[in-house]
Amino acid sequence: MNAPHSACTARQARPLLLLAAAVALAPCAEAQFVTPQVVLQGQAGPVVVEVEVARTPEEQQRGLMFRTELKPDAGMLFVYQRDGDHSFWMKNTYIPLDMIFITADGRVAGVVENAEPLTTTSRQVGTPSRYVLEVNAGFFRRHGIQPGSPVSFRGIPEAAGP
């Protein structure tokens, strides 16, 4: 005699079970779609930068050209296949930038501060790096980041940190 009541309960429980499964799996789905981020260790603690990732030669050549603004905690991460003394210029780049060069093992190798816009002057740090992070000028000093500071990456599978 309880069968109709049990069947009704099972039907009612099914959506709740699906909802519980969705809630339980949400962190897994979120981890797969994390906004790419670079985390630098500054004087006051970790500093998170949401980044666009430049992986291909075409994306790297264009970089932040033709942009007229960049959010305060945003930037572009250039990912290279090999370590090198990478060189940058500011042709067609309208925003003054800090360029933070990062080693393959996740340390700040060096920085070019306040790169002047709209120039073809070559800028590099004279030390091998695997990644270069471009951010608004003044970012490096404002956050107290130093050469040797640790760097980690989130949502960037080809980048490895300490």
Indicate the pairing of strand 129-136 with strand 74-84.
Answer: antiparallel
Q: Give the DSSP letter of residue 35.
A: P
Written as tens digits, the pLDDT of the chain (162 aa) is 554 554 555 555 455 444 444 445 545 444 455 899 999 999 999 999 999 999 999 999 999 999 999 999 999 999 999 999 999 999 999 999 999 999 999 999 999 999 999 999 999 999 999 999 999 999 999 999 999 999 999 999 988 544
Distances (CA, A) of 25 to 12, 30, 50, 57, 158: 21, 9, 24, 36, 24
